[in-house]
Amino acid sequence: MKKRIGILTYRGKNGFYEQGFLRRLVREGKLMGAEVFVFSPQDVNAASRMIKGFTPGADGWKSSWYAWPDIVIDRYRYYPIAKHKNYLPFRTKNLFRYANSRFANKFRVHQVLMQEEELQRWLPETRLYKRDVLADMLKRHGIVYVKPTNGSGGRSILRVERRGKVYLLRGRTKKQGRKHAVLPTLSALTAEIERWTKREKFGQEQFFLQQGLDLTLLPGRTVDARLLIQKDGSGKWRLTGVGMRLGSKQSSTSNLHGGGTALPAGRFLAYRFGVQEAERILCECRELALKTVEAIEKHFGSMMEFGFDLGIDANGRVWIIEINPKPGRDIFRKLGQWDRYLHAVRRPLEYALHLVSDERIASHTG
């Protein structure tokens, strides 16, 4: 009998988010001999244990009724929160066996990782937003980022720089609009930031401050690394790949959705730091990813994959900027690394099938 995998995601009036990726998941699952369908919370009939699932067809998505899945991959990216108020109550019901546990917001994750002594060297200073904290961090670091606890794709992030007697403010709204301002005083700056956070936040969302890093490895451009680490078909963590993201001119972030460009990691780092230093940096990136996912699972339960946004400063020091439990993988497609992209798509399915197989073996031998 085919193993049945459900993909939990958001479906609204305009259909699914990230439709291209979902289509590939369903197609690759079919090639692997599994029955894979996509669904949202409103498609579940718990009383009859049936789900209205969707699969891609020639003319869009077609729906059918499916029996309860053997396992569910939670791909629900609930941003903006205002549209997804039903997700968390649904997820906490534990109606299914999930391949990935629930995660926490960015600030909570930072607090957890700071408890691990061996990870602290990779973590920039991060504190909840307060006026006096902003003033203190700007005095010490010169650059500070203002970030929402549940943001994604570089949205609603402000870069604040103290330059002489003025403050430069740059960022992107939740609708990808650009923000630029020069503020003459700290009080003018805090007033502008507080207007921004009030307008940009969803519900009771908080904003936090993160130490700014010198990531201008090329003049006038922000550069960071995206690392994807995933569990494979045997349940082992594997580094799928690393790519560099080059932000557009005058952008506060390097996100590809915000106009960034993908670059091969090894080649770029060798160009900037030399071959030997580039190899050291990439080895450190792998080390921190493996140690971090181990710490995360200790606190949050079994996970499946993570995208790490890593800063590499002008001195070659590596920093953890953000960790995403439901990462994109377009960077490999944009780099033309099709084998790696296919691995990135297939590994969640392989891991989900591994979990189902392990459960069935245990039930027969227990």
- Place 250 in a pLDDT band, splitting at 50, 70 and 90: low
pLDDT per position as a tens digit, 30-43: 999 999 999 999 99
Q: Compute the distance between CA of residue 359 and CA of residue 71 in angstroms, rounded to an integer.
A: 10
- Place 257 in a pLDDT band, splitting at 50, 70 and 90: low
Measuring CA to CA, how many Å separate 93 from each of 18, 46, 141?
Answer: 25, 11, 44
Which H helix or E strand runs over 270? Answer: helix 265-273
The tokens describing 81, both together, are 């929160």
Q: Compute the distance between CA of residue 25 and CA of residue 119 in angstroms, rounded to an integer.
A: 33
Position 153 scores a pLDDT of 66
Residue 133: pLDDT over 60: yes
Give, to the nearest 10 degrees, the angle between helix 131-141 and helix 186-200.
120
- Place 344 in a pLDDT band, splitting at 50, 70 and 90: very high
pLDDT per position as a tens digit, 136-154: 999 999 999 999 988 666 6
How many helices and strands (H and E) does the chain possess? Answer: 9, 19
Q: Compute the distance between CA of residue 279 and CA of residue 282 in angstroms, rounded to an integer.
A: 5
State residue 261 phi and psi, 5-degree precision: -120, 140
